[in-house]
Amino acid sequence: MRRPQLEPVPGLPNRVRIYEVGARDGLQNEQQVVPVEDKAMFVRMLAETGLETIEVTSFVSPQWVPQLADASELLAILGEEGLGRHRPVLVPNERGLDRALEAGVSAIAIFGSATETFARKNLNRSVAESVQMFAPVVYRAKEQDAWVRAYLSMCFGDPWEGNVPIPQVVDAARRLMDLGCDELSIGDTIGVATTGHTKRLLEALVEAGIGIDRLAVHFHDTYGQALANTIAALQSGVTIVDSSAGGLGGCPYAKSATGNLATEDLLWALDGLGVETGVDLKKLVATSVWMAGQLGRQSPSRVVTALGESV
Ligand code: HMG
Ligand code: MG
């Protein structure tokens, strides 16, 4: 299989931790419900590629996201492979936390919004009410010594509200981090961010006291900017990047959200730059080709398309 020519440049981290979201952000957005055995196979294959952190599923309301209603069953099938600090799951409320803890989970992610409209659409609450909903979740998770990530959606633009001012994003980010979360992932839910915007927002978050080592970036690729924005974030000192095998992804409650940055596209770029990830590109492409077969459609990833025949 073809590999990129190694040509490192200064100003980038030596190593990046990829936070793989395909099994959650990807499969929550499929029209069809993927059989639970295929989900388990997907997670196992992802782990085989060397991906350390894999978000497995969501403990949200099954009425809201029927695609992931089988979260407990999936974790039971996966056993130890689906648990631990590197197997987070999405949790919106105490009901979700109860279900997750019962399944043996020790890493969770809450998910807030920088805009009022999306908070309403995705969580049925205002921004302030959603922070109130998360507070006992984070408190109780921490009491159980769990690792807690906070996502913040609509950081770069909102389909209903348009532009989102940077101070508004910083304020929402601070409120989530003040609950005691370990990490913050800034979400470009609808894929409208650009490189300058990315750098400006990261600077503002760091100025507000959120250390760059706690910041992750989460770009959807609607406008084809996800990889460029990610490289801009790495130049700003970020070392945690969310991506999705095969470029699966989207949010059922956000108009115009398409797939995430494809993990393969990210790897092609990082392998060429000599930035370590510990992930085997060939195995990952084979995994995405397999999943595309299960879903009955081609992966939108350019790298999967280019390399898919040769794995
Ligand atoms: P609600 O309707 O206000 O909740 O929804 P409720 O408390 O009134 O409960 C309604 C029903 O759901 C009740 O059942 C509850 O028991 C049940 P009933 O009594 O009617 O039979 N319920 C639950 N069942 C199981 N597990 C639970 C749970 N919670 C309630 N955890 C709620 C509020 C937050 C629950 C709902 O809005 C919800 O589940 N939203 C999740 C939406 C979602 O998953 N969106 C996609 C993930 S976010 C995303 O993709 C963005 C991200 O990728 C970053 C980015 O790209 O920006 C992270
Ligand atoms: Mg997302």
Strand 240-243 and strand 215-219: the pairing is parallel
Q: Is residue 67 part of a domain?
A: yes
The reply to whether ligand 1 has any atom less than 6 angstroms from the CB of 72 is no
Do the Cβ atoms of 156 and 115 come closer than 8 Å? no
Do the Cβ atoms of 152 and 169 come closer than 8 Å? yes
Ligand nearest to the CA of 124: 1
Say how many Å lie between the CA of residue 131 and the centre of ligand 1: 14
Tally the domains of the chain.
1
Residue in this structure with the two tokens 């196992």, named with its chain if needed: 44
Instruction: Please write the tens of the pLDDT for every residue from 126-143.
Output: 999 999 999 999 999 999
Q: Which atom of ligand 1 is nearest to the CA of 250?
A: 50
If one counts every other C-beta atom within 10 angstroms of the C-beta of residue 113, the result is 29
Q: Is residue 7 part of a domain?
A: no
Q: Is residue 3 part of a domain?
A: no
Residue in this structure with the two tokens 């990889």, named with its chain if needed: 227
CATH of the domain at 57: 3.20.20.70
Instruction: Please write the tens of the pLDDT for every residue from 37-71.
Output: 999 999 999 999 999 999 999 999 999 999 999 99
Instruction: Please write the tens of the pLDDT for every residue from 287-310.
Output: 999 999 999 999 999 999 999 988
Q: Which residue's CA is minimally distant from atom 6 of ligand 1?
A: 61
Say how many Å lie between the CA of residue 269 and the centre of ligand 2: 21
Catalytic (active site) residue 251? yes
Q: What is the pLDDT of residue 78?
A: 98
Do the Cβ atoms of 233 and 11 come closer than 8 Å? no
Q: What is the pLDDT of residue 168?
A: 98
Q: Which residue's CA is minimally distant from atom 15 of ligand 1?
A: 61
Rounded Cα distance between 13 and 276, Å, is 9
**What backbone torsions phi and psi does residue 152 show, to the nearest 5 degrees?**
-125, 115
Say how many Å lie between the CA of residue 79 and the centre of ligand 1: 25
| Per annotation, catalytic residue among 68, 164, 251, 284 | 251
Nearest residue to 88 (alpha-carbon basis) of 73, 99, 100, 76: 100
Tell me which residue range forms the domain holding 244. 18-310
Q: Which atom of ligand 1 is nearest to the CA of 21?
A: 53
Q: Is residue 12 part of a domain?
A: no
**What backbone torsions phi and psi does residue 138 show, to the nearest 5 degrees?**
-65, -45
Do the Cβ atoms of 220 and 258 come closer than 8 Å? yes
Q: Which residue's CA is minimally distant from atom 30 of ligand 1?
A: 61
The reply to whether ligand 1 has any atom less than 6 angstroms from the CB of 253 is yes
The reply to whether ligand 1 has any atom less than 6 angstroms from the CB of 130 is no
The reply to whether ligand 1 has any atom less than 6 angstroms from the CB of 88 is no
Q: Is residue 49 part of a domain?
A: yes
Whole-prediction pTM: 0.98
Rounded Cα distance between 110 and 133, Å, is 10
Tens-binned pLDDT, residue by residue, of the chain (311 aa): 999 999 999 999 999 999 999 999 999 999 889 999 999 999 999 999 999 999 999 999 999 999 999 999 999 999 999 999 999 999 999 999 999 999 999 999 999 999 999 999 999 999 999 999 999 999 999 999 999 999 999 999 999 999 999 999 999 999 999 999 999 999 999 999 999 999 999 999 999 999 999 999 999 999 999 999 999 999 999 999 999 999 999 888 987 778 999 999 999 999 999 999 999 999 999 999 999 999 999 999 999 999 998 88
Rounded Cα distance between 304 and 300, Å, is 8
Nearest residue to 144 (alpha-carbon basis) of 85, 71, 76, 73: 85
Q: Is residue 8 part of a domain?
A: no
SS (H, E, C) the chain: CCCCCCCCCCCCCCECEEEECHHHHHHHHCCCCCCHHHHHHHHHHHHHCCCCEECCEECCCCCCCHHHCCHHHHHHHHHHHHCCCCCCEECCCHHHHHHHHHCCCCEEEEEEECCHHHHHHHHCCCHHHHHHHHHHHHHHHHHCCCEEEEEEECCCCECCCECCCHHHHHHHHHHHHCCCCCEEEEEECCCCCCHHHHHHHHHHHHHCCCCHHHEEEEEECCCCCHHHHHHHHHHCCCCEEEEEHHHCCCCCCCCCCCCECEHHHHHHHHHHHCCECCCCHHHHHHHHHHHHHHHCCCCCCHHHHHHHHHC
